[in-house]
């Protein structure tokens, strides 16, 4: 089964909870990043707790090991189940995120390659491959890879093997759901769902990948 992960980049707290509640039966996890946390505070985690869905903190943590540790401790203390971190800061810093996550019985995912057009300026030429290797060596639970470039997902799969690949970029960014769903463990979808007139119905439509 391929998981469907809702990217809840909704700024209004009440609206975010409403969207999450309507989508809950059709999704496997909720990804929350700076847009929602900066507008609503970390306590948004408590508002979503009743849904009993894993909450992924997409803070793309990218600092020195000690600061990464402080950030990740705050993330898991707030009630998140997983964190997304950058790997380009080096194995020591990325490993710190993984260690904190595992100490809290959570998960850590490393960004291997991003989905936007500008990502090719820096992530290509072997960089994404190196980041995927780093994710493996740091014992991360998986990587983030671009739904906008299925060929790159396949290449990165060769490196990470059975580790999870979660992939944003379907819908609003142009990635094709069915193509990507066959290659990854989870598809991350934001605007196509939460900007729809009926987010729950749209999530249900996307949830065909879970079958």
Binding site for ligand BMP (CB under 6 A): 7, 9, 33, 58, 114-115, 144, 146, 168-169, 171-173, 188-192
Nearest approach in angstroms of CB 60 to ligand BMP is 7
**Using an 8 Å Cβ cutoff, are 119 and 144 in contact?**
no
Q: Which is nearer to ligand BMP, 103 or 116 (CB)?
A: 116
39 is in an annotated binding site: no
Would you say 184 or 189 has its CB closer to ligand BMP? 189
Residues classed as catalytic: 58, 60, 63
CA distance 123 to 130: 9
Is 190 annotated as contributing to ligand binding?
Answer: yes
Least distance (Å) between residue 144 CB and ligand BMP: 5
Half-sphere exposure of 142 (CA within 13 A, CB side): 19
Where would I find the beta strands (DSSP E) of the chain?
3-7, 29-33, 55-61, 82-86, 107-111, 142-144, 164-168, 186-189
Q: From the annotation, which residues make up the binding site for substrate? A: 9, 31, 115, 190-191
């Amino acid at each position: 089964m391929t998981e469907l992960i809702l990217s809840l980049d909704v700024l209004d707290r009440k609206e975010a909870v409403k969207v999450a509640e309507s989508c809950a039966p059709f999704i496997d996890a909720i990804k929350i990043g700076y847009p929602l946390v900066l507008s609503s505070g970390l306590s948004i985690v408590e508002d979503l707790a009743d849904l009993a869905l894993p909450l992924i903190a997409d803070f793309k943590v990218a600092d020195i090991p000690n600061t990464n540790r402080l950030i990740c401790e705050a993330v898991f203390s707030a009630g998140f189940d997983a964190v997304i971190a950058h790997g380009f800061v080096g194995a020591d810093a990325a490993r710190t995120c993984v260690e904190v996550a595992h100490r809290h019985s959570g998960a850590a995912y490393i960004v291997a390659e991003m989905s936007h057009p500008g990502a090719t300026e820096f992530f290509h030429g072997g960089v994404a491959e190196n980041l995927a290797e780093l994710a493996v060596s740091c014992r991360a639970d998986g990587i983030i890879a671009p739904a906008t470039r299925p060929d790159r997902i396949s290449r990165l799969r060769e490196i990470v093997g059975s580790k999870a690949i979660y992939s944003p970029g379907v819908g609003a960014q142009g990635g094709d759901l069915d193509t990507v769903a066959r290659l990854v463990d989870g598809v991350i979808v934001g605007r196509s769902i939460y900007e729809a007139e009926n987010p729950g119905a749209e999530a249900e439509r996307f949830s065909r990948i879970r079958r």
